[in-house]
Structure 1
Amino acid sequence: MAIDIPTLEERYIGSCRSHGILPSSSILSSFFKAEIKKSCQELCCLEIFIDDIKDIDFPPLLDVCMNLDTSEIEAVDLRNESTSELNGEYALSLMRAINQKLRVVDLQDLSFGKDFLRDISQRGLACQVLTLRSSHFRKLNLVGEFLNMHTLNLDFSSSLTSFQEDCFNCMPNLMCLSMCETQISNLWTTVAALSKLPSLVELRFQYLLHCNDAMTSYTSSSGRSNDTDDFILSKRVPCISESCIGTSELTDHTFGADNPLSNFYSFDDAMNHDASSIIDDSSGDTEVDISRHHQRYALSAVFARWNGQMPLQNENQDEEDLLEGTFARRTADVSQKYMPCHASPICYEKHYREFMIASLPNLKVLDNLPIKKIDKEKATETFSQYFEYLPYRWKHKESIVRILQNREIKSSHINVQSLKSRASYRSGKSQHFYARSLSAAKVGSSTWPFLCPLSLSGCRFGGEDRVFRPRQFEYHPSDSSLMVFGTLDGEVVVINHENEQIVSYIPSLGAMNSVLGLCWLKKYPSKLIAGSDNGSLKLYDIHHVGRKSTGIYGSSGCVTFDEFDQLTSVHVNSADELFLASGYSRNVALYDINNGKRLQVFTDMHQGHINVVKFANHSPSIFATSSFDQDVKKWDLRQKPTHPCFTASSSRGNVMACFSPDDQYILASAVDNEVRQLLAVDGRLHLAFDIASTGSSQNYTRSYYMNGRDYIISGSCDEQVIRICCTQTGRRLRDISLEGRSSGSSMYVQSLRGDPFRDFNMSVLAAYMRPASKSEIVKINLLASSGYTKDDSDQQHPCPSHSMGA
C-alpha cells in the first residue's frame, strides 16, 4: 500500500497550524511553483522571495527548510527585490538550514546591518551564486568557506573601495566576478587579490553596450545578443570606439542624468540573474553613500542567461569561436563600437584593459569582451612599455633567501677570471646589484604595502593634551629617526618617527600662523628654519628647545629674521650659509644665516607668484623657482640673478620643482598631474611621466624623488593616490591608495617625501576630504606586508586602506 508523502505546501500549512499563525501567501506560492516544476520533470528548484516574509512567518518556514534533505527539492534560490523586513538573524538561520541545497542567494541593499554581513564573511555560505548589492561595506574581507561558489556579483555596492589581501583565498572555484559601479580604483591591489582565484575566467568592472548604425544593444556574457533576452535600446546612444574603453578618454556623457539605461531594463528581467557578492568592514559606523542607489537594478541582466549554470565554452573550443556572432572587432571593414556603462573608477585608469589581461593570464572574458590571442599579445607589449612588474626592471620574482645565498657565494668566490671584464662585473654584480635585488624581491612579495599613521594626538605638554594638525614636514638629513613637522596652529614639532616620541616642541606663542616652510641645516643638524604664512621666519636649535609648553627657548635657541609676506617656501643652500624664501608674490628674498640679515630681494623673477624655491643639493649658488606662470627657472647667485640660466615651460601652472639628489635633473610638477623631468644643465625635457589628468584646475600636484633618484613619488590634492614611477623609463611601478578607516572618509595628498635612508619608504601628509577635518602623516613601507600596529578601536587614528597602489 502506497504511502502518501505530504507536499511542501501541506507540510508548511501543518507547521503554521502548530505555531498558531496564518500561512504566508508568498511562501505558499513558492512551494506550489516547485511542485509544478517537479511534476513537469524539470529541475525541482524552490525559489523563495523574502520581501514579504515577516518575522512571524519564519518559524514554520524554517521547520520545512530544515528537512529539505529528505525531500525531492534539488536546489533553493533565495531572492529579494526590495528592502526586506525580515530580521537578519532569521535570514541567516534560513540560509544555514537550507545548507548544501542553497544554490542562489540574491540580496540587495538590505537593512540587515553589518552583523549580518560579518557573519556571512566569517562563516561563509554553501551557495553557488551570491549577489549582494549593499552600501554598508567598504572593504571586501571574506574568510569563511565558499567552496561551492562559482559566481560573485557585487554590482552597485557603492561604498566598496578595496580588498583585504587574502579575501579570495576561500573560494577556489570562483569563475565569474562582477563589480560594476563600485569604487574599486587601484590596478595593483585589485590584480593581487584576483590572482588568488585560480578558476577565474570572467571579470567585469563595467557594462559594455554594443553599438552599430542601427541600434545599441547589450551583449551577454555568453556572447549572444537578441531582442528578447538581452534587450535592445529603443533609442540611439552615444558610442565610443573600442580603443577608448578603459582609458581616461572616456567622458561623463555616458553617465549623465539622461542616461538611456534608466529606460533600458524591464523590472522582471532585472530580477532574473545569478551572481554573487559579499564583504566585511569592521570599521566604525558612519554615513553611507547611497547616491547611486536608484541604479541598483541596471546590471541585473549581466548573468541573466546563466540561471545558476555556467555558460562557459568547452576548454578545447577554438578561441576564434568565442567571437562568433558577438564581439568581432571588424566585420566587413566596419569597426565595432562599445559604450561603457556603470564603470568603476578602475576602468578610467590608462591602459586598464591591457593591464588586467597581462596580469591575469587565465582570464577569458573582460567586461563582456572575449579575450583573443591578439589581445594578449597587445597587452604584454603595452604592459612592458608603461609599467614595471618589479622594481629596477626585474622580470621575475625571486626568493629573498636565494638572493642572500648568491650574495655570500659571490663574495667568497671572486677570482681573477671573474674580474677580467670589469664593465661586465660592475653592471651585473655592482655594489647596488644585491640591494636592488632584495628590494625587488621584497616589493614583489608585499603587494599591499605597510601603511601606518604617526600617532600625533593625545600628547601631553605642560599638563594638557595636545592634538596636532600637521601642515608640512621634513625628514632629518642625517638622523634616520627624526622628522620635523609644522602645524596649522604655528607649532613646530620634532618627533622620533620610529618610536613616535616627541623630541622637541616649539609652540607658536602668537608669533606664527600655519607653518608652510621647513628646512634642516645639513652641517648643523640640530638647527632648522621655519616659516609661516604670516611671513614669520625663525631659526631654531632643537638642542636648546625643551619638551614643555612654557619657557622652552631663549635667545640662544631662536633667531628671528625679517619677515617675508605671504610666505609659502623656504630652502637652505648646501653650505648652510644662505636661505631663500618665496611666497604669493613674484619676488624671492635671500637671507644670511650667520648674521641673521636679509641680504637682498630679487623682484619680478616670474610673471606669476612663486610657489616653491629650491637650492641645488651640491652647488651653494644654484637654485630653481617654479611658478603658476607655467615656467620653471634655474638661477645662479654668482650671476646676480636678473636673468635665469634657463626657462622651461609647462602647459599648466607649476606647483613645485626640486633637484635630484645628484643635481643631474630637476623634477617639475604642474597642476593636474603634469610631471616632467628636466636636464638640470640646460632645462631640456628628459622625461614626461604619463599620468592621467583629472580635468581639475585645482588638482595641485607635488612630486619628489625616492631611492636616490631611481624613482619619483607623485600625489595630487584632488586624489587619494600616490604614484611611483621609474625616472629612467617613466614606467609606473605601483599606485598606493589612501583611504580613511570609515566609509566615506576618503583622503587626499597634501604633501609627500621619500625616506632618504630607507629604500621604498616614504611619508605622506594626508587630509580628509571633509571640511575642517584633520590631517595626518602616514608612513608607507613598500618592503613590508600590510598591517596596522595601532589598536583597531582607536578611532582617532584611522588606518589607510591597505591598497596600492591604493
Structure 2
Amino acid sequence: MSFIECNSGEKMLNSMSLLEFDITVVSSVERVSISTQLDLVTICYLDSCKRHEVCPNSAVLSWFSEAKVQKSCQEKCNIVVSLNRLKNDDIPPLIDAFLALDLSDIDSVDVLDHGSTCVLNEEHILSLMNATKLKLRVIDLSSTSLKKGFLRDLCHVGLPCRVLKLRSNNIQKLDMVGRFMRLQTLNLDFCTSLTSLQKDCFSCMPNLMCLSMCETRVANLWTTTEVLAELPSLLELRFQNCLCCKDTRPCNLSSGEKGSLNVINTCSYSAGETTIGLLSLRESFMVPEVHRKTDNSSKVDERKFLGYLQDRSDGSPSPLHNLRVSPKPQNEVQYKSKNVSGTSNKDIWHHPSPICFEKHYRAYMVASLPRLAVLDNLPITKKEKETSKTIVSEFYEYLPYKHNRKKNVVNILQKRETGTSGVHYGNSSKLKQTYCYGKSQCFFSRSLSAARFGSSMWPSLHPVSSFSHIYKEENKRLRPRQFEYHPSNSSLMAFGTLDGEIVVVNHETGNLVGYNSSIGMTNSVLGLCWLKKYPSKLIAGFDNGCLKLFDVNHMPAKLGDRSCGSGAVHFEDFEQLTSVHVNSTDDQFLASGYSKGVALYDISTGKRLQVFTNMHREPINVAKFAHHSPCMFATSSFDKDVKMWDLREKPENPCYTASSSRGNVMVCFSPDDLYLLVSAIDNEVKQLSAVDGRLHMNFNITSTGSAHNYTRSYYMNGRDYIISGSCDEHAVRICCAQTGRRLRDVYIEGTESGKSIFVQSLRGDPFRPFNFSVLTSTMRPTAKQEIIKVNLLASSHDADESSRDQGQAHRSSSLSCEVIRA
C-alpha cells in the first residue's frame, strides 16, 4: 500500500486539505516547512504512518488542525482523542507523535471513549495514554466498550491524568492501587455493580479533591469512611446529586430566596424514581423515635410464610417483591446553608447510593471526614461539624464498651460492695458467672478485644466447612437451612439441610464429626436444639412435622454415608413445625409452628405431654425456654404479640403480653434471662425486660418498606451486644444492648459475580467475643446456601493473623471428637 493512497482509494491530498500549514509530500517529510512546534507533531505522525505502512487517519489530522487553530487564537491548546474514531493500526503512529509533545505547544490531551465500534488493542490504548506523559488531562471512559480486564489493568497501573471519568462501567470492587499522583477528580457515577471500596484503593491519590459516586451500590458506612479518610486532599464528595448540579461543587441555587435553613435529607420513594427531599430541622424532632403504627402492609399471610421461606432458601425472589410500603429512612443531620433556598419539591436529590439511606448518614460522614468541605453538593459549615460530632457520639459507638453512661451514687456503691465492673458477659450456664469482677481476666480480655476491634474494619469472613462445597451423590451440594453452636464444646456446630440431613462439624477445622442422611426424608430441617446435660444429643424438627432425637456418637463421620440414624428417638409429629427448643434441665422441649398453640414433649419417655391451644390470635413461629428457669418460656407470633408463660400455672393466661407494630418473627432470652430480644418484620428490633415486658431499648434500625423483610436478632458477647439481619438484605447490624448505639454493620458479599445475597439466619458465638456466624443464600438460578463465620477481631487483609488462627484451630481439632464422645 502506498503512503500517499489509502485503502479506500482516497488520496492523501483530501486529508491534507484539513491542514492550515504548507506541507508538500513527495518522497519524504524532509521537504516540509515547519512554522510552529505544533507542526512537529503532525510531521512525526505522518512519518510514523509511512514507517508503519498505514494510511493517516483524517480524524487524527483534524485534531491536530483544531489544536493549531486554538493556538493561533491564543487559547489553550488541547487535543481531544476520541477512541471511537480510531482503529488498531492508527494507534502506533499516534503514540509516536505524542512522544514529541514535551517539545510542542500543546497544553493538554484528553482521551474519550463513549462506545467504540471497533475492538481496540488494550495494550495499545494504555501505551497511548502513557505516551502523553504530563500532558494528559482528562480520561473519559464512561460506558466504555473496553473489557473489564482493561479497567482492572488501568486501576492497577495508574495514569498521570488529572480527571478520570469511569461512569456507567461494570466495576464490582474498586481497587485503584496504581499511581494516580496527579489525579484531582474521579467520577464513578452509575457504576451500579460497585458494592465496596477496597482497603488501599485510594492509597496513591494524594491530590484527589473531588469524588462522585452517585447511584452505585456502596452501602457500608464504616468501611467507606475508613477508605475516604486516607485521602488527604479530599474536599468535595457526593453519593447523590442535586438536580441542578453536574459536578461535586456546592449547589448554586439563588441566595435571594429564603436564606439559610436547617434541613434534613429524607428519603421518599415514588413509583417512577427515588428522590430525596429537604425537610426542616424542626419537623425532624417533633416526634421521638418510638414504636410506629403501620398499615395493612404489615400483615403476614402465615399460610404462605413457610412456602415463602422455602422459596427464598431455594434462591427465588419474593413473589410480592414489588409490593412495598413507602419507607422513610431519615438521615437526621442538622445542616445550615446560605445556598439552599427553600423546602419546595423542586429541591430534591437524585440517584442516591444505598449508603445515603443509613440513618445519620450525613452526620457520620461529616464527623468522620473533618477536611471535607462539600457533601452531596451542600457545603459543610463549622456549626454542622460540631453538631455532627454530637449526633455521632449519641447514636454510634466507635469502639466497643465505650458506653459513657451516666452513673449515680447507688450504682457506684453497689459496684464497690460487690466488686463488679458492671459489664455482663459469660458462657457458663450459671448466672453468677455472667459478671466480671474487678480487674479480672474478663476485664482485660475486653480491653484487648476493643483494641483489636478498632484495627480490623474489614472483618474476617470464611465458610464454616470446606466440604460444604463438595458435591455429594447425584451432583447435589449440602444446603444448610438451620444451624446451632454447641452449648459446651466451642469447636462444634450442627446444621440441618434443605434435604433433611443432619451434619455436625468442627467449625474450626472443617472436619466432619457426624452425618445423618435421613433416608426416605427430603424435608427441610427447620428446628435444631442441643441438649446441655447430654452434649452428644440434639433434637431436630422437620417441616413435615417429624421430630427426632439424634446421638452424634451413633452418627458416621462420613459425608454421603446412607445411614438412617440408628438409635434416633422419634416423637409424635407436630404439623407445620417451625421451631423446637429444650428447657434448661433437658427433660422437656417445646415445638411450635404455623398454628396458634405449642406442644410440650417429655424427652425421657418420648411422649407428647400436652398441647396448649389458642395462645395467640395468629400462628406462633417461635417458642423459647428461659436459660435458667425450666418452666418459663416466651412465644412470638405474627399477631404482633410476644407473651411470657409459666408451665407451673398451666399456660392458659400469659404472665404478660408485649406488642410490636409489625408481625413478630422471633424472640429469644438474654443469656442471664434479664431481657427478651424481639424481632419483628422489617428491622423492628427491641429489647424488653423479661420480668414484666416493659420496653428497655428500641434499636431503631432503618426499615426497607418491605412486608417480607423477615428480621432475626440474637445476642453476642453474652448480653452486651445484639446482631440483627433480615432476609431482604445482606447486612448484619451490631448494636450495643445497653445503649442502643450502632457499633458497626457487616456486609456479606458474594464471591461470585452478580449474585445477590440475603441473610437467612445468624447466631452469636457463645465462646468467642465479637464472633458470629451467618446463614446466607443467593438468588436463583444458581441458588447456594452457606454458613459464613465472621470474626470482627481479625482483618480479612491480615494474612499473618489468619495463619495464627488456623494454627490454633489445628491444635484444638484433636480434642473435638473426644469432648463430644465423652
Give yes or no for TM over 0.5.
yes
Q: Is the 8 A contact 2:757 2:778 kept in 1?
A: yes
Q: Does 1:373 align with 2:382?
A: yes
1:224–1:664 Cα change, 3 Å:
closer
1:161–1:242 Cα change, 3 Å:
farther
Q: Is the 8 A contact 2:572 2:607 kept in 1?
A: yes
1:487–1:68 Cα change, 3 Å:
same
> Deviations for 1:72-115, whole angstroms, at most 9, x for unmatched residues?
22321111333452332221121121222212111112222122
Q: Does 1:345 align with 2:372?
A: no
> Deviations for 1:655-711, whole angstroms, at most 9, x for unmatched residues?
000000000000000000011101000111111111111111000000000000000
Q: Does 1:391 align with 2:400?
A: yes
Q: Does 1:66 align with 2:111?
A: no
SS at match of 2:132: helix
Partner of 2:69: 36
Partner of 1:517: 527
SS at match of 2:454: helix
SS at match of 2:208: coil
Q: Which moved more, 1:49-58 or 1:185-194?
A: 49-58
Q: Is the 8 A contact 1:242 1:336 kept in 2?
A: no
Once the two structures are TM-superposed, the CA of residue 425 in structure 1 deviates from its matched residue by: 8.6
Partner of 1:361: 370
Partner of 2:319: none
Q: Is the 8 A contact 1:485 1:493 kept in 2?
A: yes
Q: Equivalences for 1:116-515 in 2 at 5 Å?
A: 116-209=150-243, 217-218=244-245, 221-223=248-250, 225=252, 243-245=263-265, 247=266, 249-252=267-270, 255=273, 327-329=338-340, 338-393=347-402, 426=421, 430-431=439-440, 432-457=442-467, 467-511=477-521, 513-515=523-525
Q: Does 1:654 align with 2:664?
A: yes
> Deviations for 1:566-621, whole angstroms, at most 9, x for unmatched residues?
11000000000000000111120000001111101111111111111100000000
Q: Is the 8 A contact 1:511 1:536 kept in 2?
A: no
> Deviations for 1:712-739, whole angstroms, at most 9, x for unmatched residues?
0000000110000011111111001111
Instruction: Point out where structure 2 has 5 or more consecutive residues left out of the alignment.
Output: 1-32, 255-260, 278-334, 405-414, 423-436, 801-822
> Deviations for 1:510-552, whole angstroms, at most 9, x for unmatched residues?
1451000000000111000001000110001101221244574
1:50–1:776 Cα change, 3 Å:
same
- The alignment of Structure 1 onto Structure 2 pairs a total of residues equal to 676
> Deviations for 1:254-284, whole angstroms, at most 9, x for unmatched residues?
7269x9xxxxxxxxxxxxxxxxxxxxxxxxx
1:460–1:769 Cα change, 3 Å:
closer
Q: Does 1:601 align with 2:611?
A: yes
SS at match of 1:115: helix
**Alpha-carbon distance between aligned partners in 1 of 2:134 and 2:76, rounded to the nearest angstrom:** 16
Once the two structures are TM-superposed, the CA of residue 221 in structure 1 deviates from its matched residue by: 4.1
1:680–1:425 Cα change, 3 Å:
closer
Q: Does 1:774 align with 2:807?
A: no
1:699–1:63 Cα change, 3 Å:
same
Q: Give the letter for the 1:390 counterpart.
A: L
Once the two structures are TM-superposed, the CA of residue 466 in structure 1 deviates from its matched residue by: 6.1
Q: Give the letter for the 1:23 counterpart.
A: P
SS at match of 1:64: helix
**Alpha-carbon distance between aligned partners in 1 of 2:649 and 2:616, rounded to the nearest angstrom:** 17
> Deviations for 1:205-243, whole angstroms, at most 9, x for unmatched residues?
11013xxxxxxx43864446489xxxxxxxxxxxxx973
**Alpha-carbon distance between aligned partners in 2 of 1:34 and 1:554, rounded to the nearest angstrom:** 82
Q: Give the letter for the 1:366 counterpart.
A: L
**Alpha-carbon distance between aligned partners in 2 of 1:156 and 1:355, rounded to the nearest angstrom:** 23
Q: Does 1:682 align with 2:698?
A: no
Q: Give the letter for the 1:358 counterpart.
A: A
Q: Give the letter for the 1:218 counterpart.
A: C
> Deviations for 1:143-182, whole angstroms, at most 9, x for unmatched residues?
2111111111111111111011111112122111111111
Q: Equivalences for 1:591-740 in 2 at 5 Å?
A: 591-740=601-750
Once the two structures are TM-superposed, the CA of residue 478 in structure 1 deviates from its matched residue by: 0.5
**Alpha-carbon distance between aligned partners in 2 of 1:730 and 1:91, rounded to the nearest angstrom:** 53
Q: Is the 8 A contact 1:456 1:468 kept in 2?
A: no
Q: Is the 8 A contact 2:471 2:477 kept in 1?
A: no
Partner of 2:136: 102
Identify which of 533, 536, 540 aligns with 2:546: 536
SS at match of 2:601: strand
**Alpha-carbon distance between aligned partners in 1 of 2:622 and 2:468, rounded to the nearest angstrom:** 33
Q: Is the 8 A contact 1:747 1:768 kept in 2?
A: yes
Q: Is the 8 A contact 1:612 1:655 kept in 2?
A: yes
**Alpha-carbon distance between aligned partners in 2 of 1:256 and 1:669, rounded to the nearest angstrom:** 28
**Alpha-carbon distance between aligned partners in 2 of 1:220 and 1:467, rounded to the nearest angstrom:** 49
Identity of aligned pairs, percent?
Answer: 57
1:752–1:80 Cα change, 3 Å:
same
How does the TM-score come out when normalised to structure 1?
Answer: 0.79
1:469–1:90 Cα change, 3 Å:
same
**Alpha-carbon distance between aligned partners in 1 of 2:131 and 2:400, rounded to the nearest angstrom:** 51
Partner of 1:793: none
Q: Give the letter for the 2:716 counterpart.
A: M
1:433–1:775 Cα change, 3 Å:
same
Q: Does 1:527 align with 2:537?
A: yes
SS at match of 1:783: strand
Q: Does 1:547 align with 2:557?
A: yes
Instruction: Point out where structure 1 has 5 or more consecutive residues left out of the alignment.
Output: 210-216, 228-240, 260-321, 396-419, 791-806
Q: Which moved more, 1:502-511 or 1:709-718?
A: 502-511
**Alpha-carbon distance between aligned partners in 2 of 1:565 and 1:340, rounded to the nearest angstrom:** 51
Identify which of 72, 79, 84 aligns with 1:51: 84
Partner of 1:9: 42
**Alpha-carbon distance between aligned partners in 2 of 1:602 and 1:150, rounded to the nearest angstrom:** 69
